[in-house]
Amino acid sequence: MTPDAPLILIADDESKIRRLTAKGLERAGFDTISAADGLEAMKLLERAAEGHAPFPNLLVLDLMMPGLSGLELLARIRERWKTPVIMLTARDEPPVKMSAFREGADDYLTKPFLMEELEARIRAVLRRTNASAGSKSRVLRSGPLTVDPDRWTAAWRGEPLKLAKREFQLLAALMARPGAVATHEALLRAMGAEDAPDLNALRVGIARLRKRLAEAGMDPAALSSFSGVGYMLGDLAQWDEAELP
C-alpha cells in the first residue's frame, strides 16, 4: 500500500466491475481492497475494526449483491461506523436512491459510469467528511487507552475493545476530555437520547462500559460517578509505556 493514500473498499458481485474499478482508482492514487459480496465486505470491516488490517477511508458499494445487499450492508455499517459510503449501482429509480440516502449513503452513482466521475465524487466525499488524502483519523488518547471516533474503534494497551454502540458512544464522549466531568446531559446527547432523556439507560450504559474496561484490564474505578452531575474518566497518562507488559 502507498503511504498516506486513502484506502477504498469496493464491494460488488461482478468481478469485472471490481477489477476495472480497482485498477482505475489505483491509477488515480488510491489504495483498494475488494469484496465479492456484502458478507465478505462486512468480514473485512470487522477484521479491520479489530486492528488486524487498515480500516478503509471510504466504501464503494453495489446495491444488488447476494447474501447481504448493499442497503443491508449500509444499515449494518451505520450501526457501528461513520465511514463514508458511495453507492455504485445500475438502479436509478428515485425511491431506491432515497432509501440509500436514508440509510446513510454519502453519494450515489449509477452504472455505467465514468471512472473520472467516480474519482471526483470520492475526493469530494472525502473532503466533506474530513477523511481527505493524507489526513489521519482524529484519535483520542489517554495513556494506553485510544479511541478513534471516525472509525468507531477503541483499544486498551493496543488490544481492541469489543464495545456495543452505546458503550462506544459513552467512551468517546468521556475521552473527549479525560480528567473532566461529562454531565448527564452531554452523555445523553452522545447516546442520541437527548429528546427522551433516560438516566437509568445512562447508568446501565456506564455500568456495561465499566465491565468492558475491567475485562480489558483497566481499573474500573478510573470511571467515576459524580452524583447529580455526571461521570468522569480519569486522566490515564500515569499508565505510561513503562508499565505496559
| HEC-encoded secondary structure of 111-164 | CCCCHHHHHHHHHHHHHHCCCCCCCCCCCEEECCEEEECCCCEEEECCEECCCC
7-128, CATH topology level: Rossmann fold (3.40.50)
Residue range 140-243, CATH number: 1.10.10.10
Which grid coordinates belong to 80?
A: 457501528
Q: Rounded to whole angstroms, what are the CA distances from 53 to 1, 3, 46, 93, 103?
A: 12, 14, 9, 36, 26
pLDDT tens digits, residue range 52-97? 888 999 999 999 998 899 999 999 998 888 889 999 988 888 888 8
Tell me whether domains 7-128 and 140-243 share a fold. Answer: no
**Model pLDDT, residue 151:** 77
Is residue 192 packed enough to be buried (19+ CB in 10 Å), middle (13-18) or exposed (0-12)? exposed
- Decide: 7 and 32 in contact? Cβ < 8 Å: yes
- Which among 45, 43, 37 has a CA at the least distance from the CA of 18? 37
The secondary structure of residue 183, as a DSSP letter, is E
Mean pLDDT of 132-139: 51
Pairing of strands 140-142, 145-148: antiparallel
| Site of grid cell 459524580 | 226
Looking at the chain, the whole-number percentage of residues with pLDDT higher than 70 is 89
Residue-range domain boundaries for the chain: 7-128, 140-243
Q: Residue 24's pLDDT band (boundaries 50, 70, 90)?
A: very high
